Structure 1
């Protein structure tokens, strides 16, 4: 009976140690600054925080710093873009410069590596179509022609008045 009790205690201790070894190592990544308007083909800044256990800002350990990986997926075409963020400012604050090539709905997920078992939130953003490029040379030519006509008329009027 005593051996059975010792065996049960050792098995219980083993399962307890396994559960402790799996504890921790997760983080949340709330986005703190997202532009009001995102236009296809234009660069925008995405700012977010990495919070260890959802509460404390962290940059990771000195020997193993956090390197957040951003995965953006276009909902309609399933096109995927991957970006990395850099730590900026205070502890736990990160920023990435992003450029999305096509308009539509995009899903953003942030994985704060090396917190590999983090199930980050998925954010959905809408990217607007880029406005059509206008050819300003026509307007510039019209303005230059108008200015030349005004100068010429002024010179002609001054010449006739003498």
Structure 2
């Protein structure tokens, strides 16, 4: 069995924001057909997301990672996460949270997403965390298989109802 390809993962910097937004937009293209109502974006969604990414890069609790292309002129993918607080009634109060993982279509199924998640898990462990939360759409079969491969198991089901 050969070793998986090596994909360097580094903390994102503000200059990566445009590439992250472009990669996120490919993720939104996947989610739109799943539920157009819940994933419908506002007209300036890319600008809003860019500002969100920049805030997370600067936040002490933010975890924003990129897998740069070999020429370092772009990114293969990114991960956006942070620290989350649970209610004081629970013994496990602080958890790592992975909000988005997106890999450019040209680099999918090459281990980039796995490298991003493993790097985030290392960062969460270094912060003393014992648990990490992620959400994905059950209709996104690629994501479902990926998160199972990464040994995440469903715990709660989030449901929506139109009023």
TM-score range relative to shorter protein? under 0.3
Structure 1 or 2, whichever has the larger Rg, is 1
Name the structure with the higher helix share: 2
Normalising by structure 2, we get a TM-score of 0.25
